Amino acid sequence: MKIDIEKEFPKYFKSSYPEEFEIFSHFETTSAIPQVLFAITTWKENGKPNVCFHSWSCFHGDKTAFFAVMGCLHQKTHTFSNIKREKCFALNFLPISYYNRLVNTIKHNNYEEDEFKVGEFTVEKAKTINAPVIKEAFMNIECNLKDIQDLSGSGITSMVIGQVEHISVEEEYAQGYEKRYGKDGFMMLVPAPQNLKTGDSAQSGIATLNIEMLD
């Protein structure tokens, strides 16, 4: 038997923190779909580098272009303002061993903060856009801003689409599966899965990928 969750917020759902369901849809914790974690990097208006630890995205395109589609970027963040102003951004993929350093950039993200210093990251200049990139990342993706859409029209989040201009991959990650997947590879967010019977909340999971078979 399947449990049905409707568009209207289930009153028995309990939040993990007070503002959770003021920000996020209850469908996120209902579905708990895993997504890759990465750092968005931009320049602040004061010239200091900004880091935004992010998920809720997908990557796709066709033979003419490739796109990074960030579906849930909060409009009140420095990152959103920076992207609107500079018309570009970089994405940096780091393994799970960097998780705590990335979380520190969330805890210390005031306008005057150099968030690369907070995370103990090395600043490098992107090759094709006006954005900083994290040297320690095993992959950097450079994007020019393609489009911004407030899908819900509520002024809370926006879908930000970047057109990929350049990708840099560390040599040891550039061959086969061994380094990109597992503890040294992509880091995944598993949104806190709601108990759909009791409404109890759960903690989000941080995961890595394991190749089970080749197709």
Rounded to 5 degrees, what are φ and ψ at 130? Answer: -90, 75
Q: What is the mean pLDDT of residues 81-90?
A: 98
Query: Band of the pLDDT at 178, cuts 50, 70, 90?
Result: confident
What backbone torsions phi and psi does residue 26 show, to the nearest 5 degrees?
A: -65, -15
pLDDT at site 81: 98
- Give the residue with greater pLDDT, 17 vs 198: 198
Say what the pLDDT of residue 111 is: 96
Q: Kindly tell me if the per-residue pLDDT of 45 is higher than 90.
A: yes
Angstrom distance (rounded) from CA 140 to CA 86:
18
Q: What is the pLDDT of residues 22-43, one digit of tens each?
A: 889 999 999 999 999 999 999 9
Mean pLDDT of 192-214: 95
132 in Cβ contact with 43 (< 8 Å): yes
Other CB atoms within a 10 A radius of the CB of residue 169 amount to 16
* Residues above pLDDT 90, as percent of the chain: 96
pLDDT tens, residue by residue, 13-25? 999 988 899 889 9
pLDDT digits over 200-210, tens only? 999 999 999 99
What 21-28 contacts at long range (C-beta under 8 Å, 24+ apart), as own/partner pairs, is 23/74, 23/156, 24/72, 26/194, 28/191
The per-residue pLDDT for range 92-124, each reduced to its tens digit, is: 999 999 999 999 999 999 999 999 999 999 999
d(CA 86, CA 44): 9
Distance (Å, whole) CA 120 – CA 139: 17
Can you list the domains of the chain with their CATH numbers?
32-208 (2.30.110.10)
How high is the pLDDT of residue 149? 98
